[in-house]
Amino acid sequence: MTGLLTVVIVFAINFVIIRLAPGDPIKTLMGKENDDPVLRAALEEKYGLDKSMPMQFVLYLKTAMTGDLGTSIIYNRPVIDMIAEKIFATLLLVLSAALLALIIGTIMGIHAARHEGSLVDVIFSGVAYVLNSMPSFWLGLMLIIIFASRLKVLPSCGMTDTRASYIGGKYVLDVLKHMILPVGTLLLIQIPSYFRIAKSSVLQVSNEDFITTLRATGMGERKIFNKYIFRNAILPTITIFGISMAYLITGVALIEIVFAWPGTGRLVLTAITQRDYPTLMGIYLIMSISVAVVMILVDIVYALFDPRIRY
Amino acid sequence: MKSEKKRFKNIINKIKNDRQLKYGTFGIIFLLLVVLLSPLISTHDPNVFGPDALNKIGENGHLLGTNHLGQDIFSMIIHGTRTSLKVAIISALISGMLGILIGGVGGFFGGRVDQVISEKINIFMMLPTFFLILLIISLFGNSITNVMIVIGLTTWPSNAKLMRAQALSLRERTFVRSAVAMGENRRQILFKYIIPNGIFPVVANTTMGMSNAILTEASLSFLGLGDPNVISWGQMIYTGKAYLTSAWWISTFAGLAIVITVIFFYLLGDGLNHVLNPKYVNRKGE
Amino acid sequence: METILELQDYSVTYINQNNDKKVHAVKDANFKINKGDSLGIVGESGSGKSTMAMALLRLLSPKSVEISGSANFIGNELTILPEEELKKIRWKELAVVFQKSMNALSPVHRIGNQIEDIYRVHNPQATKKEVFERVKILFEMVNLSDRVYHLYPHELSGGMLQRVAIALSLIHSPKLLILDEATTALDVVTQGQILDEIEKMEKTMDMTRIMITHDMSVVAASCNKVAVMYAGEFMEIGLVKDVLKYPKHPYTKGLLSAFPSLTDTRAKLTAIKGFLPDLSAEQTGCIFAPRCEYAMDICKSERPKSVFMKDGTQVRCHLCKEGD
């Protein structure tokens, strides 16, 4: 399927990019300061630079399959470990934002569709338009200024309050409190997509012939909406969920940086500034695979809801 | 001669009638004016590190304050307009040209060529592009030129998809078929008929792409991958981050500039979409 | 004779929200349908036939449509009936089979599922079995296999969907059935079968029928009354045997000569020259005058009234005087 092919291509890109970059790939992988000949020899053997290109690629794939994504130049730890320990924090943000945006955005969209042209519709649409045009990180910064700096109601960074150490229920509350702004930012950025698709979808379905038929049978508006309009209109939203997740998976890094959230996003920042390529590439790989997986799942769910599509 | 005049009037009318297109066009024209008149509007030379560091709004004649190096925020924003527009237009051009070419070839020639091309398009559409751009920029250097080229090289798939759909439907039209029957060279047909007629939805999409390009450049700068030699709004937000609580104006206004510019481009794109709807256009091409 | 439906000066006008333009889709419809009648409404595409079908059941959005006049359905004034009362009538007493049944059912629900819902609108306690038994009978009538019940709409052909729509319309044994181009998409054999079945049912179920079509032969074969519609106005209304043999209105004459006859000599088919008028423009005089061969001066300035001829036919034409 296309999903698998994508993953292969991602590997290929990773592979090719290192070799295309100016300079010696091994040096790039080792880090500019490092000049240890032993390390160099080890790396050369690992990546098989003396062998032909296709062989190198196969070797690369093999190593990656075993979970070895290279070693971080800076921390000298396996990349995969570093990612694994941070991934939970990131998932926390991504999943909360994705689900909340889906629910809130869709409800807003449905409401706007049913009351098309009303003041509420105009306001929602306007707000959605503006939110859609904002850089996520800037919005995060603005929220920090307002809520943390001026109003002082919410924490501006981190996942927990470092001054105290809570356990159990208090811990959960503390984390939640710290989650509000970052999740809120991601949420606001994503809502417009769901809003727009829900609104247009409901409007479109409401004008379809079969809805007129159902009305002609004397069926109540409520039943028509809850069962028939909803089921038909929800389909595009499923697709949007996939796209939204893809955006979140890649864009959460920026928000983590703004809010100093201890997730994989911050790894990205240090990796960039220090030019820690193994880490960067490892993250890119994980990210792309996650997106591909999400897309495949979304396709499957879509097929479940739309009987016209069956594999 | 007369038909040229009529066509122009037609276009003006269309712009007037569609509200979004109207505001979008005005917005873009406004931005272009800002770029052209930047030396006149700026109150200070943005590149100069002045003595007034971290001035508040209005202090010492600095309309929007200064940053930690004494640069006037207002002037920096004015000059940043040029950077943003440059990035938007050039990356959109690259992305558009690639998309039109690849999509056009795939849609028009069909068969195996098309199959391969569509597969490629679908795959590339799935790849998370931002991160790829990040990777490339960190490896190849963070000059603004690199940024523009890379954005262009990674955003062509959506244009290609649109162009391909257009090419597929145009292929069946009578005037194309007669051209084929008359023995015209396939490449000629592609460039003479298919592309000029199918280009319109791609244009609208490219406009959206421009907004995305601006946001991408801002994100890159925020991560520290911006071009330090160039004044960009993203960079401003980046430098302002450290002074968030003490000098909030550094980041805020740069971000506002981005929001307003992006809204203008979206309005333009939406408006173009309404007006240049393929249904509408194919009647013109008849 | 019990009157099932009586229209008096019934008019349907579309109002465009943006520029206040009015389109007169149906203008001053006046006729009576008695129990057991089968009325065929004939006219060109765009003459307003479908609009009327939708308007009677108030299925058009009140925001964009203005209905005036009276439409009395067995004592119920359809134009002013409260929504709750109207819902009770919909489908149970008055059912419609729409054009383009391709999209008549929700694509993401099974056909049986939807039919159950529809049946339960008026019979909330009905069990699945009951509904299925009832539908089986109807499916048989329209020549559909049982298994269609469990399929999704996209798994059926256009013709099959049309037949499902027809079966569905009969589910509550309505008193009045309106078929809007319902057999157009079907092959002649199936069309004949269905029409036969419907005629049979009319006798057993005491059903009255309105058939909207552009096909005069269907009207000739299965209806007893005919109403000729042009640009929203009714030009000639009368018994089929009268109108088809002795058409009085020039438009009717034109329509009939445009249809090939199986029995008559091979005469040349004639088309009515011209196009339908712009229904949003205000009309002076007879609306058919621009295309009429026999147009006189008065036809261009004064709109003819609908008058009754000696044989009971209603005609709207200056050429016809009352009681001729």
Length of chain C: 324
Burial class of residue B173 in the structure, from the number of CB atoms within 10 Å of its CB (0-12 exposed, 13-18 middle, 19+ buried): middle
- In angstroms, how far apart are the furthest CA atoms of chain C? 66
Give the pairing of strands C76-77 and C65-73.
antiparallel
Report yes or no on C321 lying in a domain.
no
Model pLDDT, residue A22:
63
pLDDT tens for each residue of B107-133:
888 778 888 888 778 777 777 788 888
pLDDT band at A96 (very low <50, low <70, confident <90, very high): very high
Distance CA A124, CA C113 (A): 36
CB contact under 8 A, A210 and C54: no
Task: Give the pLDDT of residue B3.
Answer: 64
Cα C10 versus chain centre, distance? 15
- The verdict on residue C39 lying in a domain is yes
Q: Is position C134 within any domain? A: no
pLDDT in tens, A233-282: 989 999 899 889 988 988 898 999 888 888 888 788 887 777 777 777 77
When scoring A133, A275, A288 by the number of chain B Cβ atoms within 10 A, the one with the most, hence best to mutate, is A133
Judge whether C231 lies within some domain.
yes
Average the pLDDT over A5-21 and give the result.
70
Choose the closest CB to A231 out of C89, C108, C118.
C108
Give me the phi and psi of C213, to 5 degrees please. -160, 165
Answer whether B touches C (≥3 Cβ pairs < 8 Å): no
Residues of chain A neighbouring C105 (CB-CB closer than 8 A)? 210, 213
* Other CB atoms within 10 A of residue A304 CB: 11
What's the rounded Cα separation, in Å, for the pair A214 and B32?
Answer: 53
CA nearest to B142 within chain A: A272
Identify which of A114, A140, A100, A121 has the alpha carbon closest to the alpha carbon of residue A251: A140
Range of the domain at C29: 3-88+212-316
- Inter-chain residue contact A213 with C122, CB threshold 8 Å: no
Instruction: Tell whether C67 is covered by a domain.
Output: yes
Q: Residue ranges of chain B with pLDDT lower than 70?
A: 1-4, 14-17, 61, 276-286
Q: Which residues contact C87 (CB under 8 A, 6 or more apart)?
A: A218, A219, A220, C121
Cβ contacts of residue C98 below 8 Å, gap of 6+?
A209, A212, A213, A216, C50, C53, C104, C165, C180
Q: Would you say residue A48 has pLDDT above 70?
A: no
Sheet holding C3-15, edge to edge: C22-34, C3-15, C65-73, C76-77
| b/e map A7-37, b = 16+ CB within 10 Å | bebbbebbbebbeebeeebbebbbbeeeeee
Chain A neighbors of C154, CB-CB under 8 A: 307-308
CB proximity list for B242: less than 8 A, separation 6 or greater:
B68
Would you give the distance in Å from CA B87 to the centre of its chain? 7
**Structure tokens given for A120:** 């509420």
- Whether the per-residue pLDDT at A118 is higher than 70: the answer is yes
C297 three-class SS: helix
pLDDT at C141: 80
Contact A250 B258 (CB under 8 A): no
The C-alpha atoms of residue C45 and residue C279 are separated, in whole angstroms, by 13
Chain C neighbors of A212, CB-CB under 8 A? 54, 59, 98
Is the CB of B263 inside 8 Å of chain A's CB atoms?
yes
Q: A10-14, A72-76, A232-236, B211-215 — which is least confidently predicted? A: A72-76
User: Taking a C-beta distance cutoff of 8 angstroms, is the pair B157, B124 a contact?
Assistant: yes
Q: Which chain B residues in 40-59 lie under 8 Å from chain A, judged by CB atoms?
A: none
**Structural domains of chain A, with CATH:** 79-310 (1.10.3720.10)
CB B52 within 8 A of CB B236: no
Q: Is the dihedral of CA B146, B149, B153, B154 positive or negative?
A: positive
Q: Report long-range pairs for A37-44 (Cβ below 8 Å, ≥24 apart).
A: none
pLDDT at B187: 77
**Domain contains C183:** no
Structure tokens at B219: 């994100």
The helix (H) or strand (E) run that includes residue B158 is helix B156-171
Residue C35 lies in a domain: yes
Q: Which residues of chain C have pLDDT under 50?
A: none
Residue C296 domain-assigned? yes
* C-alpha–C-alpha distance, residues B250 and B54, integer Å: 9
Q: Do C96 and A308 touch (CB under 8 A)?
A: no
Cβ neighbours of residue A188 closer than 8 Å, sequence gap 6 or more: A131, A134, A139
Q: Is residue A109 very low, low, confident or very high in pLDDT (cuts 50, 70, 90)? A: very high
Contact status of B185 with chain A (Cβ, < 8 Å): no
**Nearest residue to A188 via CA among A247, A104, A125, A126:** A104
Give, in degrees to the nearest 5, the angle at Cα A201 between A197 and A192: 15
Contacts of C303 (CB under 8 A, 6+ apart): C283, C284, C285, C286, C287
Cα–Cα–Cα angle for B118, B124, B125, rounded to 5 degrees: 90
**Chain A contact set for B211 (CB, 8 A):** 133
Please report, for residues A27, A34, A220, the alpha-carbon distance to residue A37 in angstroms, rounded to integers and kept in the order given: 11, 9, 79
What's the pLDDT at B285?
32
Amino acid, single-letter form, for residue A307: P
Q: How many CB atoms are located within 10 Å of the residue C281 CB?
A: 11
d(CA B203, CA C310): 67
**Residue with the two structure tokens 């194919």:** B282
Strand partners, C308: C314
Distance from CA of A302 to the nearest CA of C (A): 11
Rg of chain A in Å (alpha carbons):
24
Between CA C65 and CA A286 the distance in angstroms is 57
* Chain B adjacent subunits, 3+ CB pairs under 8 A: A
Assign residue C254 the CATH number of its domain.
Answer: 3.40.50.300
How far apart, in whole angstroms, are the C-alpha atoms of residue C190 and residue C163?
Answer: 9
Give me the residue label for tokens 């919005």.
A139
- Pairing of β C225-230 and β C38-42: parallel
For an interface test with B, which of A138, A256, A267, A290 has the most B Cβ atoms less than 10 Å from its Cβ? A138
- Give the number of domains in chain C: 1
Interchain CB distance below 8 Å, A18 and B263: no
